Amino acid sequence: MIVVMREDASDAQIQAISNRIRGMGFDIHPDRGANRTVLGVIGDTSRLDPRSLEMEEGVAEVLRVTEPYKLASRAFHPNDTVIRIGDVAIGGDEVIVIAGPCAVENAEQIRETASRVRQAGARILRGGAFKPRTSPYSFQGLGEKGLELLRDAAREQDMLCVSEVMEPAYVRSVADRVDIVQVGARNMQNFPLLKEVGRIDKPVLLKRGMSATIEELLMAAEYIMASGNPRVMLCERGIRTFETYTRNTMDISAIPVVKKRSHLPILADPSHGTGRRDKVAPMARAAVAAGADGLIIEVHTHPDQALSDGPQSLYPDRFAALMEELKTIAWAIGRRIGAGSDREPERNR
């Protein structure tokens, strides 16, 4: 952290702020220039609020020069983190596709969907059992029963599965039943929940909050990692902006930004990112083209009867066609989707 003093700061002011910083246990590296004095603060400043120094007399600005996260930072871990679960590796050459319904509704629905998405090349099955719903009057999910239906359907297709957990008290129960535990966008800064998923031995899929900066997303990952769980994968799912034609604005540029700042895998969710079925395919293609390590896509065998998020769920046929497009795009940038996808691409459209 660097404290830039005002040009007219007095010696007494410089002394006072220096004493205060030393009092907090940091060292000071002062630089008295011709125009102004700049104080370098030496020590672990990640717990120091820059604003607390900015209010002091004589201070022009306080600048953080290191990122407030460490475990999640590429500066400290130059190599990509690859998360391996069985024969699936997230963050490696293969672009991993997670697919399935928004919510697990019954055994038949989830089994049929699993079979269809598996056939098209998805490696991981998604399905909500505890649903965060804006309205208290909406379908809230099947709970633990839903988790079991999800796991059984995945096993039947030799797939992994992922589901969301919403409160600390349920973390272990969810972690016992699925392969990857998801923390949803609305809970990205639910700190007790982050700590709790930091204590389990399952990978965590952490979604970016609707109005979270990328720095805050990485800080949330830091929470989980600081609690003991290094296996975190991030997911861009659209941010809130003034635009209203789309439900959210999917921030595709977050993909290369996260790649530069962090070593963690970054996925993209074009279903929530756009909120509309007809925008899912172009945004899925865009995400892969921009370098995403994976996708999470909502697929439903009967979207018009879905208990939640039908409007953004793909029909299985459309999903299968999209997978073909994605395989070629992945190939174009030197990656692959699915085992057989290192083949020559087929031209689409």
Selected range binding its own copies among 107-115, 128-136, 153-161, 174-182, rule: CB under 8 A: 128-136
Binding its own copies (rule: CB under 8 A), the pick from 129, 175, 250, 323 is 250
Who's near 339: CB < 8 A, 6+ residues apart? none
Is 328 a residue that touches its own copies (CB under 8 A)?
yes
Per-position b or e across 201-221, b if 16+ CB within 10 A of its CB: ebbbbbbbbbebebebbbbbb
Who's near 205: CB < 8 A, 6+ residues apart? 162, 180, 181, 182, 183, 233, 235, 267, 296
Q: What is the DSSP string of 293-336?
A: SEEEEEB-SSGGG-SS-GGGPBPHHHHHHHHHHHHHHHHHTT-B
Whole-angstrom Cα distance, residue 162 to residue 256?
24
Please give the backbone phi and psi of residue 227, each rounded to the nearest 5 degrees, phi first.
-85, -5
Least distance in Å: CB of 145 to its own copies?
Answer: 17
Least distance in Å: CB of 316 to its own copies?
Answer: 16
Selected range binding its own copies among 108-116, 118-126, 199-207, 328-336, rule: CB under 8 A: 328-336
Task: Name 181's bridge partners.
Answer: 163, 204
Selected range binding its own copies among 104-112, 143-151, 293-301, 321-329, rule: CB under 8 A: 321-329
Task: Name 205's bridge partners.
Answer: 182, 233
Binding its own copies (rule: CB under 8 A), the pick from 180, 252, 296, 337 is 252
The amino acid occupying position 102 is C
Q: By CB under 8 A, what part of segment 205-234 binds its own copies?
A: 209-211, 213-216, 219, 222-223, 226-227
Q: Which is nearer to its own copies, 158 or 305 (CB)?
A: 305
Binding its own copies (rule: CB under 8 A), the pick from 89, 156, 246, 320 is 246
Task: Name 85's bridge partners.
Answer: 88
Q: By CB under 8 A, what part of segment 259-298 binds its own copies?
A: 260-261, 273-279, 282-283, 285-291
Whole-angstrom Cα distance, residue 212 to residue 220?
10
Q: For residue 160, which of 88, 102, 66 has the smallest C-alpha distance?
A: 88
Q: By CB under 8 A, what part of segment 8-27 binds its own copies?
A: 20
Please compute, for residue 164, the number of CA atoms within 13 A of its CA located in the half-sphere on the CB side. Answer: 25
Is 256 a residue that touches its own copies (CB under 8 A)?
yes
Least distance in Å: CB of 157 to its own copies?
Answer: 27
**Beta-strand relationship, 37-42 and 27-32:** antiparallel
Q: Is the Cβ–Cβ distance between 100 and 316 less than 8 Å?
A: no
Q: By CB under 8 A, what part of segment 25-54 binds its own copies?
A: 29, 31, 33-36, 38, 40, 42, 44, 46-47, 49, 51-52, 54
Q: Which is nearer to its own copies, 117 or 165 (CB)?
A: 165
Number of residues counted as binding its own copies (CB under 8 A): 115
Q: Which is nearer to its own copies, 235 or 287 (CB)?
A: 287
Least distance in Å: CB of 156 to its own copies?
Answer: 29
Q: Which is nearer to its own copies, 33 or 340 (CB)?
A: 33
Selected range binding its own copies among 105-113, 120-128, 154-162, 193-201, rule: CB under 8 A: 193-201
Binding its own copies (rule: CB under 8 A), the pick from 87, 137, 201, 340 is 137
| Contact pattern for its own copies over residues 82 through 121, marking x by CB under 8 A | ----------------------------------------
Q: How far is CA 162 from the centre of its chain?
A: 14
Whole-angstrom Cα distance, residue 258 to residue 253?
9
Binding its own copies (rule: CB under 8 A), the pick from 189, 318, 320, 321 is 189
